[in-house]
Structure 1
Amino acid sequence: MRTGPTVGSPTRHLGPALVTVAFLGAVIGGVGAPLITSVALDLHIRLDAAQWTLTATLFAGAVSAPVLGRLGSGSHRRSTVLVTLALVALGGLLTAIPLPFGVLLFGRALQGLGLGVIALLMSIARDYLPTERAQSVIATISVAGTVGIGVAYPLMGLLDQVAGLRVAYSVGFLLSLTAVAIAWRTVPADTPRPTPRLDVPGALLLGLGILGILLAVAQPAVWQTPYLGISVVVLTAATLTFWVIVERRATAPLVDLRLFMRGGVLRANAAMLTAGAGMYLLFSLLTRYVQTPVDAGYGFGLSGVVAGAALIPFSVLGFVGGRLTPQLAARTTAQATFTVYAGFVIVAATVFAIAPVSLAATLAAMAVLGFGVGGASAIMPRLVLDAVPRAETASVLAINQIVRTVGFSIGSALAGQLLAAATPTAAIFPGQHGYTIAAWCVLPLLALSAAIILTGTSISESVP
């Protein structure tokens, strides 16, 4: 019976297969955002409750990433990938069946595990592909999320509008089955390695800390009662502090904090946090602006489906940026490459801030943003993995994925707060100046991320 390719088998199909699985996982993870309103309407629940279909996915992906990374560092990496993708498929099935909201929410959480498996796919590429090929594949896997957003938004919006909520979720289920089949056929068989010990206390504490962060930045309802929001922040800080203490004392920590605190790794994660916040701030502004009805005195009143289609250039340019990254890095340095792409995000924000009344300029800003996000995402693994041992690849990338998720969540929350501050009393929509001010706020975030990266030394060329 076939159990997957062995170590010595040809790997010419491995790179495309890993990229495809990552892309499908990104599309599945992106299913929730365009369907939040439909969930609220079809299941007759509040919009803030429906928002949990996105938050639960982000939480599951962020929490599972370091756990899967640690499990995959031993001799059960193939098994870990297949079981995780099977759980994602189960989650897709639960969302497709017309069952109560609680079951749908649980299914969305299971689908979030697909985001957690990305780091494992990168570690497989690093172990089984030649160095140059591994660099290219890892970069493309990293940018798969950008492309997936541009596919998920219009596709799911159209399916929801034409065939209904459950049909849209059913497509996510079919995509997850496809990912399982591809992984079964192509992921290499496990090689003998020491079986890693799972740091259960560390995993639980980190999970609680991440949940607290997401509650504080991705669930606006928490701040409707100020003392509740403050309590969440305080408890989250205490939990993460205790987690650091536990990890430093553990013999087999979930996250090797000494490795994480190395200059290059720490700088890359700090840059990802600030850049992620700026990128998603601008992304949130653009997607909301184009759908604002013209009765508000600005905006273009695009429907959800048409607004989703406007993201296609975002994805296409994101893919192009990711593909150009290895060549650009070969001619300069990884730090300079990141800085160039951060500059493109700054250009996109500037274009939107200067000419928001032009639909062509707004769509151009969306496309340029995609190019910047795709390129920055593609070079980030190279920055993070500088001098990191191969055995720690998945674990280090998993933490970077958590940082990225938190950065995106902060950017989304920041967009909401800035626009809320620009909304007059009793008005439905913020003033147009709110979008302009928020767009200018992107610039210092991206400039700071570039400055953080440029403080480091050149990335070693020997590390894929």
Structure 2
Amino acid sequence: MSTTREHSEARLLVPSLMFIALVVAAVASLGTPLITSVATTFHVSLDSAQWTLTISLLSGAVATPVLGRLGAGPHRRATILATLAVVVAGSALTVLPLPFAWLLVGRAAQGVGLGLTALMMGVARDHLPEGRSADTIALISVVSIIGAGVGYPLAGLLTEFGGVRAAYGLGLFVTAIAFLAAWRSMPVAPKGRSAHVDVAGALVLAGGLFLVLFLASETSLWSRHLAVAVVLAIVAVLLLCVWTASELRSKAPLVDVRAVRHPAVAGANLAMFVGGIGMYLLLTLITRYAQTPHSAGYGFGLTTFVAGLVLVPFSVLGFVAGKLTPRVRMRIDAPLLLAGSAVVVGGGFVLFAAARSNLAELFVAMGVLGFGVGSFSAAMPGVILAVTPKSETSSAMSFNYVVRSVGYSLGSAMGGLVLAAGTDTGRLFPRDGAYTTAALVGIAAMAITTMASLALARQRSPETNPTAAPTGAPSQGRSKSMTGSPEGRPEQERKEADK
């Protein structure tokens, strides 16, 4: 009986990992297409409604390193189930007829689920065969990105027919299914694991990240109260510096900062940060341009639902790239794939800057963006996990996702600032040329990402076997795959190293 159940759980594991990563990403991103509807339904300003997105990004950024550390310990299954229970409860709050403040509480609870993506990677690396775990980790990384493209059109359609509560009801439905899938398929962590959460460090990190995301979302603060914004930015930097210093001294850090300083990990996080700014900037520009009414002299005046359909090429080609990348990874080193992917995203910026006179051109630009983001996301874990032991998979990837969240927030804010600067006094919409200026900023960001990835490819030391080497240890040989083991290494040696 137990053997039959174990086979059933193993068969359900990969679909469950993919589904959970997709659901938490899609649900957390529901705030974007619903901002206008939330403002109308709850009679609040657009700035206030914007917090339905910001607060989920904030709670996700704070929860990710904490969950990553808990996921490295013996109670990973319980951590996953408890987190999904919080997400389900938050989803229920967004559906119930409660005041706006409770909607924000629910959105914050939904955002906590973003921290599960790194845990899904840890489960895959621990419980799947080496080759299959590499492919699965790559796809988990991809679906965590394209989840937004899946949720947008569905949320828009439900909003048009049933209102904002119906759209959030979709989140409640899929998160409940995700919880059941996790309950049925998630295995316990391997024996011998331990984890300690640095509560004080988590609070300092939360304060620093809150200020960073607050300053990124409240773009008007920079134009109306520059001195206040500068002071808050300085406080944010100081908090993050204090957190880094305390993590270096801690015997049980929330994030192993020493491992983060490894050239491969540091280079990958830098590429993720700058690349994230560019990727989310283009996603924001295309979506906003498509919804701009014709009265502005450009744009297509699309409804929320139709604008969501513009993201379909992003999701489809992103998934295709995610499926192809692990195969290409066998022939091309991961940093070179990052560089190539950054070039593809830069090509999407060029297309948008040069050709956006009809809707088909926006679809093409979005498809190019999706392919570049998909391959970039699939290649990223290969750089980090090649020098990371199995026990630290969740923690190492969680830090990378915090960096990604901050980059995405800054990309969105940067787009808002450039477009605001290009808006004439007394006008609601920016000049068409402001979109071209923003696209040039994105091209510069992707050029920096490309150069950082190429530098990483040149300077990167040979990869070590992550199942045997300590975090950040010097490399001993080139790994064959992204979870890697040196070619020709006897199977018995690998099993002993895993033990």
1:146–1:370 Cα contact (<8 Å) kept: no
Match of 2:10 in 1: 11
Take 1:379 and 1:463, find their aligned partners in 2: how far apart are those partners? 9
2:330–2:481 Cα contact (<8 Å) kept: no
Match of 2:34 in 1: 35
2:215–2:233 Cα contact (<8 Å) kept: yes
Q: How does 1:317-336 map to 2 (within 5 A)?
A: 317-336=317-336
Take 2:71 and 2:108, find their aligned partners in 1: how far apart are those partners? 20
Partner SS for 1:196: coil
Take 2:394 and 2:380, find their aligned partners in 1: how far apart are those partners? 14
2:334–2:379 Cα contact (<8 Å) kept: yes
Q: How does 1:388-427 map to 2 (within 5 A)?
A: 388-427=388-427
Q: How does 1:296-445 map to 2 (within 5 A)?
A: 296-445=296-445
* Per-residue deviation, 1:198: 1.2
Partner SS for 1:332: coil
2:285–2:435 Cα contact (<8 Å) kept: yes
How far does the alpha carbon of each residue in 1:248-293 deviate from its partner, in whole angstroms, 9 at most, with x for none? Answer: 1111110111101000000000000000101111111111111111
Match of 1:113 in 2: 112
Evaluate the alpha carbon distance shift between residue 228 and residue 426 of structure 1 in structure 2; reply closer, same or farther with a 3 A threshold.
Answer: same
Take 1:205 and 1:222, find their aligned partners in 2: how far apart are those partners? 23
Q: How many residues align structurally?
A: 463
Take 2:5 and 2:48, find their aligned partners in 1: how far apart are those partners? 44
Match of 1:283 in 2: 283
* Per-residue deviation, 1:331: 1.8
* Per-residue deviation, 1:222: 3.4
Take 2:215 and 2:117, find their aligned partners in 1: how far apart are those partners? 25
Match of 1:260 in 2: 260
Q: TM-score, normalised by structure 2?
A: 0.90
Pairwise CA RMSD of aligned residues? 1.8
Instruction: Output the amino acid matched with 1:353.
Output: A
Take 2:164 and 2:302, find their aligned partners in 1: how far apart are those partners? 20
Match of 2:239 in 1: 239
Take 1:462 and 1:298, find their aligned partners in 2: how far apart are those partners? 47
Evaluate the alpha carbon distance shift between residue 193 and residue 153 of structure 1 in structure 2; reply closer, same or farther with a 3 A threshold.
Answer: same
Match of 1:212 in 2: 211
* Per-residue deviation, 1:89: 0.2
Deviates more, 1:129-138 or 1:215-224: 215-224
Take 1:252 and 1:242, find their aligned partners in 2: how far apart are those partners? 16
How far does the alpha carbon of each residue in 1:152-181 deviate from its partner, in whole angstroms, 9 at most, with x for none? Answer: 111111111100111111110111100000
* Per-residue deviation, 1:359: 2.1
1:5–1:187 Cα contact (<8 Å) kept: no
Take 1:462 and 1:174, find their aligned partners in 2: how far apart are those partners? 37
* Per-residue deviation, 1:87: 0.6
Deviates more, 1:139-148 or 1:168-177: 139-148
Take 2:358 and 2:158, find their aligned partners in 1: how far apart are those partners? 29
Take 2:11 and 2:173, find their aligned partners in 1: how far apart are those partners? 26
Match of 2:486 in 1: none
Instruction: Output the amino acid matched with 2:480.
Output: E
How far does the alpha carbon of each residue in 1:304-324 deviate from its partner, in whole angstroms, 9 at most, with x for none? Answer: 111111111111011101111
2:74–2:188 Cα contact (<8 Å) kept: no
1:5–1:186 Cα contact (<8 Å) kept: no
Match of 1:452 in 2: 452
Instruction: Output the amino acid matched with 1:104.
Output: L
2:149–2:315 Cα contact (<8 Å) kept: yes
Instruction: Output the amino acid matched with 1:388.
Output: T
* Structure 2 alignment gaps of length 5 or more: 464-478, 484-499
Q: How does 1:52-63 map to 2 (within 5 A)?
A: 52-63=51-62
2:117–2:144 Cα contact (<8 Å) kept: no
1:422–1:434 Cα contact (<8 Å) kept: yes
Take 2:144 and 2:178, find their aligned partners in 1: how far apart are those partners? 15
Instruction: Output the amino acid matched with 1:102.
Output: A
1:205–1:239 Cα contact (<8 Å) kept: yes
Match of 1:189 in 2: 188
- Percent sequence identity over aligned pairs: 45
